[in-house]
């Protein structure tokens, strides 16, 4: 992989350390906001656009995120899509992506590093890590590791993994995983709501960068503009379950696409103004 300036170029990485944000949600069974009884913590690890995107920088960011979020089980740390293998450059565009990718020769090393890290975590702590071999849909994956285990537990491939194989049980909770726009079937398997989420507590989706939505929280789920696809899906999901979306985003939180409001509690408006989240320096 070649290092370039922050403006970058196809096949490049952003050099230097990675920074970002940690956003935490606490769910009750059924995906509602937790008030009592059993709970599931989900921590979204959102890297900052323009900060480091090398594998070593991102692994270090993951470690720092877990140190901030803690190991209260059951919990899940969900990274953005392409946390390893995709670069999101500085700026406010929903584009600005490059895919240096994770090559076959690098995959073994990354698997070993993530497995060694997961092995020392507490039982009941899960990692869901976005890994992109390239920008092609079939090369975008979600790797699952469980605390106390050194081997990868699950591997989801965008638009290829059957729906029945996308369910991961975490304690008493069932999580259903997608990768970026695959949730609404942009080039293959999508989520048919509500049929595919019966019995699911939380949907998790690592997205790539700066998910767009229009600015009026009350807009109809049936709005057809393609830039509102995540908005429609998030509002629809909230009727039946909870959801967490992680994505690479910029530092300007006055822009809707950079807000930390990609937490969905069942039965609640998903676009309430959220707290700023925890900065990962």
Instruction: Please check the confidence at residue 168 and state whether its pLDDT lies above 90.
Output: yes
pLDDT at 8: 43
- 236 in a domain, yes or no? yes
Instruction: Please check the confidence at residue 1 and state whether its pLDDT lies above 70.
Output: no
Average pLDDT, the chain: 88
**DSSP track, 105-130:** HHHHHHHHHHHHHHHTSPTTEEEEEE
CATH number for the domain spanning 170: value is 3.60.110
| Banded pLDDT at 6 (limits 50, 70, 90) | very low
Asked if 276 contacts 230 with a C-beta cutoff of 8 angstroms, the reply is: no
- 25 in a domain, yes or no? yes
pLDDT at 191: 92
Tokens matching residue 164: 């029945």
- 28 in a domain, yes or no? yes
Asked if 230 contacts 245 with a C-beta cutoff of 8 angstroms, the reply is: yes
Phi and psi, residue 132, nearest 5°: -115, 125
160-164 long-range CB contacts below 8 Å, 24 or more apart? 160/188, 160/189, 161/189, 162/189, 163/189, 163/191, 163/196
**What is the C-alpha separation between 4 and 15, in angstroms, rounded?**
7
**What is the C-alpha separation between 189 and 176, in angstroms, rounded?**
13
Instruction: Please check the confidence at residue 92 and state whether its pLDDT lies above 80.
Output: no
| Banded pLDDT at 2 (limits 50, 70, 90) | very low
Domain count, the chain: 1
- 281 in a domain, yes or no? no
pTM value is 0.92
Neighbours of 186 (CB within 10 A): 14
Asked if 84 contacts 102 with a C-beta cutoff of 8 angstroms, the reply is: yes
- 225 in a domain, yes or no? yes
Q: Order of strands across the sheet with 263-264?
A: 167-170, 173-177, 202-209, 242-248, 263-264
- 207 in a domain, yes or no? yes
Instruction: Please check the confidence at residue 117 and state whether its pLDDT lies above 90.
Output: yes
**What is the C-alpha separation between 161 and 141, in angstroms, rounded?**
10
Where is pLDDT greater, at 256 or 221?
A: 256
The parent domain of residue 148 ranges over 2-276
Q: Per residue in 140-149, pLDDT tens? A: 999 999 999 9
pLDDT at 193: 93
- Please give the distance of CA 258 from its chain centroid, rounded to a whole number: 14
- Secondary structure class of 232 (helix, strand, coil): helix
Instruction: Please check the confidence at residue 17 and state whether its pLDDT lies above 70.
Output: yes
**What is the C-alpha separation between 126 and 158, in angstroms, rounded?**
20
């Amino acid at each position: 992989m070649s290092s370039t300036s922050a403006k970058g170029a196809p096949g490049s990485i952003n050099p230097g350390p990675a920074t970002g944000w940690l956003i935490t949600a606490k769910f009750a069974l059924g995906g509602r906001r937790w008030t009592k009884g059993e709970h599931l913590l989900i921590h979204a690890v959102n890297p900052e656009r323009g900060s480091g995107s090398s594998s070593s920088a991102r692994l270090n960011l993951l470690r720092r995120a877990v140190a901030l979020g803690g190991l209260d089980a059951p919990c899940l740390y969900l990274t953005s899509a392409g946390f390893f293998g995709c670069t999101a450059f500085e700026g406010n565009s929903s584009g600005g992506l490059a895919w240096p990718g994770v090559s076959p020769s690098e995959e073994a090393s990354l698997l070993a590093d993530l497995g060694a890290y997961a092995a020392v975590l507490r039982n009941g702590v899960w990692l869901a890590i976005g890994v992109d071999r390239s920008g092609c849909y079939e090369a975008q994956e979600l790797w699952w590791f469980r605390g106390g285990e050194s081997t990868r537990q699950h591997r989801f491939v965008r638009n290829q993994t059957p729906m029945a194989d996308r369910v991961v049980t975490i304690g008493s909770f069932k999580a259903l995983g997608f990768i970026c726009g695959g949730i609404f079937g942009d080039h293959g398997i999508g989520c048919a709501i509500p049929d595919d989420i019966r019995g699911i507590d939380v949907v998790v989706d690592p997205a790539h960068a700066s998910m767009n939505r229009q600015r009026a929280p009350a807009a109809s789920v049936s709005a057809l503009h393609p830039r509102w696809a995540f908005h429609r899906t998030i509002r629809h999901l909230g009727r039946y379950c909870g959801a967490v979306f992680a994505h690479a985003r910029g530092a300007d939180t006055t822009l809707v696409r950079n807000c930390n409001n990609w937490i969905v509690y069942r039965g609640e408006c998903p676009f309430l103004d959220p707290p700023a989240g925890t900065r990962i320096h």
